[in-house]
Amino acid sequence: MVAAPGRPGTAARWLVTPDRLSGIGRGPARMALGGLLVATLAAALLVPAASTPPEFLHDAIVATLRHGGDFYDAARDLLRTESDARAARALPSTLAVVAAALPVWGLTVLVAVGLTGLLWVGGLRLGGLLARSAGALLIVSLLAFGIVATAGLWLAAPHAALAALCSAIALVARARGRVMAAVAIACAAALIDPAALVTLAAMGALALLDGDRREPLLWLGGFGVAALAFALHLQALGATSLPAAPLVADGALARLIGAAFPDVPATIAAPLLVLAAFGWAIVADPLGPRVLALLVAGVALDNVLGVRSATLAMALVAPGLALTPAAFATLWRAAFDRRRITVTRVVR
């Protein structure tokens, strides 16, 4: 008598394709369940949540541009008294110039169009991961939650919100086979907020790992254009004496949790982030590792050169929760299924 391996039946009925845990053995399944439980409890007890600091300098520069001022002259003057000067120094003129050229409501309309586009394109793409209509409805609802969170971030930190919005659109657009469009959108995000350079780098690295020859070059080209623009911005801004105040008191992970799950207590939001990351990690679709890579790279590279990249994946965090039931079903069946296969020999 031997133990039957965990079967992917339940997971396959929830997901369109079996997850990455299909066929896992009993021992590894129990270790994975234990590790997930420990990680979830540790996140609930140890990881706080924090809000992204507002971009006060952006509003002041836009007001100056509307009265005929110059971006770099205004930035140099305002940076000397800005408590968050290191992060503000990294933000180029793109968004401020566009905001100053449009009516007060104009940029809000453009952002609303972008959020609606993400709901439409992302809903079609993410809904296709689930085999049941209930699952598709759940993941689209969680995407809507992420979009509302992104809209809330826009009110306080427009650069960070637009970088997160464009990064999410780039990920789902690439997943639908539109690589050129995805590169262009991610490059536009990096021209608005250099934090999105992380998006271009992560997507290019995964394309390279996939063995594709053409796609990594496209991402590298977009990265080169955006990095050159960032370097020219820093050169134009020149050496400016900055206040000695720290950039952000709270950590990158805390800001990601606060942005992805606004108004949710940290003891609940932090475990949700762990479960969402686990959901994206186990899905076999190429979108899964890309969302996970952006999430991890954004937190790991946050504050490098003063850019805030922690919230780049915030719009796609919550939808990962809809993918965890399949993983739990697979692990549970593999870890605790006691069915046996009995082999009977018949001698004639």
- Per-residue confidence (pLDDT) for residue 2, from 0 to 100: 33
- Taking the chain, what is the end-to-end CA distance rounded to the nearest angstrom? 22
H helix or E strand, kind and range, residue 163: helix 158-175
Is 3 part of a structural domain of the chain?
no
- Per-residue confidence (pLDDT) for residue 348, from 0 to 100: 61
H helix or E strand, kind and range, residue 340: strand 340-341
Is 323 part of a structural domain of the chain?
no
Reported as a single tens digit per residue, the pLDDT across 181-228 is 999 999 999 999 999 999 999 999 999 998 888 899 999 999 999 999
CB 147 within 8 A of CB 119: yes
| Containing structural domain, residue 187 | 56-249+286-295
CA angle in degrees (0–180, nearest 5) for 240-297-112: 80
Is 154 part of a structural domain of the chain?
yes
Q: How many domains does the chain have?
A: 1
Split at pLDDT 50, 70, 90, the class of 10 is: very low
Is 37 part of a structural domain of the chain?
no
Is 344 part of a structural domain of the chain?
no
- Per-residue confidence (pLDDT) for residue 80, from 0 to 100: 79
Is 115 part of a structural domain of the chain?
yes
Tell me the C-alpha distance between 63 and 251, whole Å.
31
Is 236 part of a structural domain of the chain?
yes
What's the pTM value of the predicted model, to 2 decimals?
0.88
- Per-residue confidence (pLDDT) for residue 190, from 0 to 100: 96
Q: What mean pLDDT is reported for the chain? A: 86
Is 304 part of a structural domain of the chain?
no
Split at pLDDT 50, 70, 90, the class of 24 is: confident
| E strands in 136-182 | none
